[in-house]
Each structure stands twice: as structure tokens, then as C-alpha cells.
Amino acid sequence: MKWQTKSELKSLLCNLLQYKSISGSDDEIAVVEYLYHLLKSEAYFQENPHHLKTDALDDGRQLLTALVKSQKPTKKTIILLSHIDVVDIEDYGSFSNLAFHPLELTEEFNQQKHKLPDEVQADLESNGDWLFGRGSMDMKAGTTLHMSMLERAINGEWDGNIILLAVPDEEVNSAGMLKAISTLNHIKEQEDLEYILCMNSEPMFRQYPNDPNMYLYSGSLGKILPGFLCYGKETHVGEPFHGLNANLMISYLNTNLELNETLMEKVGDEVVPPPISLMNRDLKDRYSVQTPVTAVSMYNVLMMEQSVQQISQKLYQIMEKTKSQIEQHMIRQSSYFSEVAGDERESVEFEVSILDYDQLYEEAVNRYGQHEVQRRLNLLLHDREQGDRDFGTLIVQELAYLCKDLAPMMVMFYSPPYYPSVSSRTNQLVTGLCERVSDYMKEEFNLEAKTINYFNGISDLSFIGNDPHKQSNIDELSKNMPLERLGLSFLDSLKTDLEVPSINIGPLGKDAHQWTERLEMNYSFEELPSVLSMAIREAFLKSD
């Protein structure tokens, strides 16, 4: 075997890291082809070539599946899930040329410790063995470990089947995992398999700065991306009270939404991070002295047990609060201006309308008819150059133009991605497995590992677990996602059933998505392989 020792795993990881597989790049395709090349040379796949496959997404990217059947015939199968894409490297600055060269980057950081944050310097001076580079922690170390487990399966280590699944696009829209649902169902039917567990190896994420704990996860947080289009009333800068600036509207909305406490859901001891803005701008194409008519903001909202509908209701309440603040702001400021100017002008009063996308769409259809609205949207689609989020915003803006007499208005809508919230905390196999793994880590390595219900880094496990609000969430998103009515939505993929108990047992690292991203290799490549092997063995034994 060639992917078992620490040095062998480090070598494989470094080879994977040299592929600049930023989501949407050519190397995102190339790294899958490299994995395929590595595996097809294995004797097992030479004898069983139909067990090693790539499956193409609509855009030409590929996912990879590698099935190794047990020497003892059985239906029991464990899925090993990882993603091979990484985020961009703009944050590396002067070190960007080394971001995909982990050995050289690690050497450079050791030579320039004084330029690194204090915690990174402390790690380099500790007993840890750290490897830096984009994807080292998130999550090509996980893919490396799964290749090691697949090799053990080929060697007959367990009485059960292993299927390795490596997907693209986890960092953006999870298009790879959405495609994998049908792929896995096809393999299950074709090979007569029973999926007893999906094991992900996303890295452990700290719950707070300098968190020393190690974690196992029995599920994954959900995520939605609500957007808000503010449509004001244009005016010349010399007549500011003749209009309502969309930037003012969006500013009040941002103040009320950013880190909002009503959306900080708590389940047991776990609390989701509060909402935070991921995009905020006005939609003027060029500079002029006309005030911006439209502005948009999109928010990352995480969830555990709440449904999308419940969150929508809370967001609507925040919009109502914002509406009142905007209206009072204009009355207050115009009154003050009149007082200072020494005249008796009436205070300016605006009434802000509040809608969701479904209401705006129906309003446009009532005014212009279904055919005309669809014609306009089809024209936008024909000329489309934007990504999903910007194109969704353009659709909302187009319908708002059709109903501009409702302005000033705020319109709430949803954009991709969407990650269902899933947890296997009530599944006996998973809860027992978490206890056994924790005991093993304590007994063998004197390590304390806590089990928590939701992986807080967002993962593809969302699409393979049990979502108790599945249909109601899909219904709510379908109504208020602009791409859905043009047949561009991914929501249909979620209607396909594939529910498998899941667990995340991952490597140790720090600073995912940062220029100091790093993997600790003593634990990840010396101790964790035996933990994963034990967990797989226990899962097969306890799944009866």
C-alpha cells in the first residue's frame, strides 16, 4: 500500500494541493482526472473498471465515485464524502504565488515568522507539524485520508463496501453534491447496495478563538441566502427631500439585520452564528448626481431546527421595523432642514411598501399579464452574463421597474446556495459511533473529543441527511427564488430522496479560507487514520 504512512499521506496531499482547483476553474476538472488516474492503476480497478467512474455535471465539471466491494458479499456500504474545490487565494497577497506549493510556502513562513500573526508563530514554535497552503485544511486532507481508507478497503480491512465520493463546487453552490444524489441512487440500485452511513472528513472548526477542543459532528448546519432589494425614489442631489435614496434604505436594513439576535438560534448548548452581510451595493451603472434608485444586500443566515418559513417571518418583521425607521428618518430630517432654512415647508412623508418576491411577481402578472412578464424575463435570460446571485437580483429589479408606482419599496427574495439543516443525533448508529470514537481517542491517544450536532462550517452533508422541514422549505424557497420560475433552480434536485445517517470525523487544522490556512499533520496523518479505520469497522459491526 502507498497511502498509509504520514510521509506517504503528506506526499499525496501535496500533489493534490498543486492543482489550483478554485471553484469554477479548469483545475477543478483536472484534479478529479488526477484522482481517477491514481485509482485506475490499482489492481482492484483494473479487474473491476466499472466500479471507478466519473459523472459529468451540466457545465462539464465532474464528480468521481470509486466503489470497493467487500471480499465477503454484503449490501452494507459506507460513503466517504469529500470535495476537491477550494476558495480563491486573493487573501495571500505577496505569498499568492506559493499558495498551491505547500512545502515551499511552509518553508517561507518559517523563515518570515515575524510577518505572521502571533497564534501562527506560536504554532510554528510548538511541537506540532504544520503544513500551510490553500486547501491543506479545507479539505484536500480529507480527500487524502479517504484515499487511504479506500486503499485499506481494497486490502480487505473491513467486512463491508466502501464508496469514495469526491465532488466539485462545494465552496459555491454544491452543484457536485446535488448531482451526486442521482449518481449514488443509480449505483445503489445497480449494485444492490444499502447505504448505512455517510462519513465526511471536513476539518474540525473551532467554536471560538483559541478553542483547544476536538470535535465530532453528527450533522451539519443549514444555510439560506436572503436578499433585499430596496427601490427608492430618484432625485437630484440639490433636492434631496424630493426623493428617497436607496442607499439610505439599505443602510437601515443592514443595521437591523447585521448580527441580529432574533436569528441566533440555540439548540441545546449549540448556537448558530448570527446573520452577516455577504454583499451590499447600489445598482447604479455609473456616477451621476442622481441618487441611486435601487440597492441590494444579501445575508448569510444559518439555521438548525428553524424552517425557512419561520426565518422568512422574522425577516419580514425586521423589514417592518426598517420601514418605520426610514419613514421617521425622512420626516425628522426634512423638518429639521425646514427649521434651519427658516421656511414653513411641510415635512416630507414617504410610505415604504414591503413585499416578498412572490408578491412582487404576482403584482407584475396582474398588471401586465403572464405572457408579458415571462417575455421580459426570457429576454433577460437570453442576454444573461451574470452569475446566479446577480442574475436573481436583476430579475427582481426588472419586476420592480414594472411596479415602480409601489416605490419606495423593499423586496425580500432568496438566492442560491441553500443548505438544508440535518442532524443524525437521534440515530442510534451515529450516536453510538460518536461515543465509541470518543472513547477510542481517549484510550489510544489521550485526546478529548466532543460530539456536537451541527458542523458549523457548512458542508455537503446537508444534501444526504434527514431534513424534517424538507418539503415546506422547498415550497417557501420556490415561491421566493427568482431563478425558480425560469427553470434555473437547483431545488428539483432536493426532491430526490437520499437520506443516509451521517457523521463528520475530520483532520485538525486552523484558519480555513484564510491565508494562514494550515493542517496539523501529527494528529491528521498519524493518529486520525486509525480513528477512521476503527469508526468504519464499528459502523459495519453495529449496523445490524
pLDDT for res 444: 97
- Give the pLDDT band of residue 146 (cuts 50, 70, 90): very high
pLDDT for res 72: 94
For residue 86, give the DSSP letter.
B
| Domains, the chain, ordered by start | 6-203+213-220+421-465+500-542 (3.40.630.10), 223-419 (3.30.70.360)
pLDDT for res 466: 86
Confidence check: pLDDT of 239 > 80: yes
Query: pLDDT tens across 399-415, in order?
Result: 999 999 999 999 999 99
pLDDT for res 340: 85
For residue 233, give the DSSP letter.
B
Confidence check: pLDDT of 430 > 90: yes
Confidence check: pLDDT of 540 > 90: yes
Confidence check: pLDDT of 109 > 90: yes
Here the cell at position 64 is 468521481
pLDDT for res 98: 98
pLDDT for res 455: 94
Confidence check: pLDDT of 210 > 80: no
Average pLDDT over residues 221-246: 93
Q: What is the dihedral of CA 431, 433, 435, 437, to 10 degrees?
A: -150
- Give the pLDDT band of residue 503 (cuts 50, 70, 90): very high
Confidence check: pLDDT of 173 > 80: yes
Confidence check: pLDDT of 347 > 80: no
Q: What is the dihedral of CA 361, 362, 364, 368, to 10 degrees?
A: 130
User: Lowest mean pLDDT: which of 96-100, 275-279, 456-460?
Assistant: 456-460
**Each residue of 128-167: b (16+ CB within 10 Å) or e?**
bbbbbbbbbbbbbbbbbbbbbbbbbbbeeebebbbbbbbb
pLDDT for res 221: 96
Average pLDDT over residues 371-398: 94
Any long-range contacts for 203-207 (C-beta under 8 Å, 24+ apart)?
A: 203/137, 203/138, 203/139, 203/141, 203/142, 203/457, 203/506, 203/507, 203/508, 203/509, 203/512, 203/519, 204/506, 204/507, 204/508, 204/509, 205/455, 205/456, 205/457, 205/512, 206/510, 207/452, 207/456
Average pLDDT over residues 285-296: 93
SS3 510: strand
- Give the pLDDT band of residue 336 (cuts 50, 70, 90): confident
Confidence check: pLDDT of 344 > 80: no
pLDDT for res 465: 86
- Give the pLDDT band of residue 337 (cuts 50, 70, 90): confident
For residue 164, give the DSSP letter.
E
pLDDT for res 205: 87
Helix H or strand E segment including 518: strand 518-520
pLDDT for res 212: 82
Confidence check: pLDDT of 184 > 90: yes
Top pLDDT among 236 and 69 is at: 69
Who's near 495: CB < 8 A, 6+ residues apart?
474
The amino acid present at 538, given as its one-letter code, is: E
Average pLDDT over residues 41-51: 97
Stated length of the chain: 544
